[in-house]
Structure 1
Amino acid sequence: MEIKNFNKYKIKWNIESETVIKPGLETIQAALKKLGNPQDKHKVIHIAGTNGKGSTIAFLTALAKAHGLSYASFTSPSIVDVHDQIQINSIPVTEKQMDEAFSRMQGSGISGMLTDFELLTVTAFIVFEMMELDIVFIEAGMGGRLDSTNVIKDSVAIIPSVSIDHTKFLGDTVEKISWHKAGILKPNSQLVIGPLVEPAKRIMYKEAEEKKANILEYNKNFRIKNHQYIFKEYSYSNLYPQMLGRHQQSNMALAITSLLVSGFELFEPKVQSAVKSASLPGRMEKIGENLYMDGAHNPASVDALVETIREKFPNRHIHLIVGILKDKNYVYILRKLEEIASSFEFVNFQHERALNATILYELCLNSEKSITLDASQVDLKQYSENSVTIVTGSFYFIAELKEKTGI
């Protein structure tokens, strides 16, 4: 799976990597050792989970910014291209910084050792090592235990949610997937968890016991009640996130808790302004009047989207513009969306794993439906006057639509 605009750096600096997924840490650890282990320089908060990772990082970065901290983040997938996956103080990495990182890698002998995502992970660590930072936020690419980001010696770990996704690599049960996520927990450290289902919770507590680590659980050790955050002696009132959805309450609380246990002092007015300003491309992102984009690409995220639509837009005409990857549970996603949709527009988009829009059209039980053969032909303003339009299905689809329509 190609990382957009990453190849130009590989070609320029003559560094090879494979466009495959190979879970495991031995190779990336060997590559990082050749580079002097740049991943060990900074304090880290590491996030894994099926959904909620990006939103939690959005809250983390907003909180860090509001408190004048210098911070960096590594996230996936890209929204525009590779540069937005590596950010310093919420500013995408520059070509100059990428060139500096590749220049260091060129002479290290790591060419040909890594997959694309492993190479990108190494690039991020080198970019961060060149900076003086108070905190780094790292999002696991897939799973956790065997994900290339899991090379950090010490970190506070966050797991917002666990549900079924990436079954080819992580397994087909919540327990198997939870085992992968729990693997980011480091010995004698802190794990901050969201409202997990019981089987996932059991795996987390077992992992924590084995590693002599401490778990902080949402609604048990810390909570949000009547827009107030409460944890031990800490209390912050009047917290109103602009990101839509009930699940954002727990994501917000996870971010606050993990910064507190990382040793940072937080102040109520700054927490209030931070959670209000936190936003994330592709997560109920407001593009225009009555126009939103949300990358609901698996059962748990589409459940959250449908709940949010019911809560925020009752009795409104809901027009859905949909593009999905073929390796996702698209039948479940479609059936769930049919519960709230007034009309559908299924769109073909240019990705090697994109599902043909015709398949969705034929499966769809809604009578008001259409097919658009190219993302550039989508008219986002067509329905926005009288109805709520939501673009959903895949972050790759959202990214292409943004690019082709110039939003």
Structure 2
Amino acid sequence: MIKPGLERIQEALNKLGNPQEKHKLIHVAGTNGKGSTIAFMRAIAKEHNLTYGSFTSPCLIDVHDQIQINGNNVTEDQMDKAFQKLRLAGISGMLTDFELLTVVAFLIFEEHDLDIVFLESGMGGRLDSTNVIQHSLAVIPSISIDHTNFLGDTIEKISWHKAGILKEHGKLIIGEIPQSAKEVVDKEVKEKQAELIEINKDFKMIGKSYTYHNHQFSDLMPQMLGSHQLSNMALAITAILESEFALDEEKVQRAVSMAALPGRMEKWSERTYMDGAHNKASIDALVETIKQYFPNERIHFIIGILKDKDYMYILKRLEEIAASFEFVDFKHERALDANILFKHCTHSEKRITKDINNIDLISENEEVVTIVTGSLYLITELKGINR
């Protein structure tokens, strides 16, 4: 169950001696781009021999991949020891699943001497359990409509949640956001007497070159596809610099060329890609990426979507570039019935696969490029079947 609010987790962390305050933190919230921005930061940290932890969501295989130390998933033993600490501190029954996992992440980070911790907000920001920290550098890659049942049905309401990760007298780094969102962010910055650092104003990407004050890095070529990844890369570089780490141009070049994130235009095979786009902004980015990289290809979409997503918009955008559709039922409790997608899709080439085990991603179809999209949960399930 999702229960926004910080009172429960703050009480739990107080009982544990507030492990969340031990490290330097970069806190990332936003509608899209959080995971990619953290992937770039992890790669940059690794190339510069920094020790780092990260807490991200959702999981791609299981909860162990949400908490990483120096790029390695936490072990079952590490997680078991953290849960024993929770039990001994009398925290059983106090927290939701995500709150528990957040506390476990802080406990595991506390066991390590880390230069930096990268923290991804689960949903929203202001009332998300990750926002229990007192000091952090805040990063918001994007703001658009999503999770309206929890965050509100307007950009302004959603922006209020995202901007809430900014701390008093802190710093906030933002990507391109709508003007209505920017007005909310500006108000938050003013109220907290903080500093705002904006893309295309304070730091810039011009072609393959990044500039910020006296810092300049050229020939930056990320492997993650899509022009939006240049923005996420620039945010990541700026965040590391603002965290007072010196960066070397060659190491930054290597880092961004190696940074990758499962489920974000992830190349599964020569002709198959996986992208967890599930809202308007991410679907728009996916469509533009496909147009850019596969302009003359026939595109076959394998799609599964959660019930609370704007599936009509998703279908409309993908129909612009699709050669065919395959709608899938998957196991998530909020998964939308594939029959509904089939009914509302106006494309002539479409079919339903009720049993996800019948989808073969191993065999190559040379006539099409296959894109799996609509939900990271669908991608997780398909990966398990097609490993």
Does the pair score TM above 0.5? Answer: yes
Match of 2:304 in 1: 323
Q: What one-letter code is carried by the residue in structure 2 that aligns with 1:134?
A: D
Match of 2:28 in 1: 47
* Counterpart secondary structure, 2:335: coil
Q: What one-letter code is carried by the residue in structure 1 that aligns with 2:233?
A: M
Q: Distance in 2 between matches of 1:97 and 1:384?
A: 42
1:298-340 alpha-carbon deviations (Å, 9 max, x no partner): 1110000001001110021000000111111111111111111
Match of 1:257 in 2: 238
Q: Distance in 2 between matches of 1:199 and 1:230?
A: 27
1:322-361 alpha-carbon deviations (Å, 9 max, x no partner): 0111111111111111111110011110110001111111
Match of 1:172 in 2: 153
TM-score (ref. length: structure 1): 0.94
Match of 2:48 in 1: 67
Match of 2:78 in 1: 97
1:56 aligns with 2:37: yes
The 8 Å contact of residues 144 and 182 in structure 1, kept in 2 or not, is answered as yes
Q: Distance in 2 between matches of 1:313 and 1:399?
A: 24
* Counterpart secondary structure, 1:240: coil
Gaps of 5+ in 1: 1-19
The 8 Å contact of residues 290 and 389 in structure 1, kept in 2 or not, is answered as yes
* Counterpart secondary structure, 1:169: helix
Q: Distance in 2 between matches of 1:239 and 1:366?
A: 39
1:149 aligns with 2:130: yes
The 8 Å contact of residues 362 and 386 in structure 2, kept in 1 or not, is answered as no
Q: What one-letter code is carried by the residue in structure 2 that aligns with 1:342?
A: A
Tell me the CA shift for residue 59 of structure 1. 0.2
The 8 Å contact of residues 289 and 384 in structure 1, kept in 2 or not, is answered as no
Q: What one-letter code is carried by the residue in structure 1 that aligns with 2:340?
A: I
Pairwise CA RMSD: 0.8
Match of 1:10 in 2: none
1:275 aligns with 2:269: no
1:139 aligns with 2:139: no
**Counterpart selection for 1:241 from 214, 218, 222:** 222
**Counterpart selection for 1:78 from 47, 51, 59:** 59
Gaps of 5+ in 2: none
Match of 1:9 in 2: none
Match of 1:203 in 2: 184
The 8 Å contact of residues 98 and 123 in structure 1, kept in 2 or not, is answered as yes
**Superposition pairs for residues 5-404 of structure 1, below 5 Å?**
20-381=1-362, 384-404=365-385
The 8 Å contact of residues 223 and 229 in structure 1, kept in 2 or not, is answered as yes
1:228-280 alpha-carbon deviations (Å, 9 max, x no partner): 00000000000000000010011000000011011000000000000000000
Identity of aligned residues (%): 64
* Counterpart secondary structure, 2:343: helix
Q: What one-letter code is carried by the residue in structure 2 that aligns with 1:380?
A: L
Q: What one-letter code is carried by the residue in structure 2 that aligns with 1:54?
A: G
Q: What one-letter code is carried by the residue in structure 2 that aligns with 1:332?
A: Y
Q: What one-letter code is carried by the residue in structure 2 that aligns with 1:231?
A: Y
The 8 Å contact of residues 144 and 281 in structure 2, kept in 1 or not, is answered as yes
* Counterpart secondary structure, 1:157: strand
TM-score (ref. length: structure 2): 0.99
Tell me the CA shift for residue 383 of structure 1. 5.5
Deviates more, 1:373-382 or 1:38-47: 373-382
* Counterpart secondary structure, 2:300: strand
The 8 Å contact of residues 230 and 236 in structure 1, kept in 2 or not, is answered as yes
1:152-190 alpha-carbon deviations (Å, 9 max, x no partner): 111110000000000011000000000000000011111
The 8 Å contact of residues 322 and 347 in structure 1, kept in 2 or not, is answered as yes
Q: What one-letter code is carried by the residue in structure 2 that aligns with 1:359?
A: I
Q: Distance in 2 between matches of 1:40 and 1:49?
A: 23
Q: What one-letter code is carried by the residue in structure 1 that aligns with 2:241?
A: L
Q: Distance in 1 between matches of 2:207 and 2:63?
A: 39
Q: Distance in 2 between matches of 1:297 and 1:161?
A: 14
Q: Distance in 2 between matches of 1:347 and 1:380?
A: 13
Q: Number of residues paired by the alignment?
A: 387
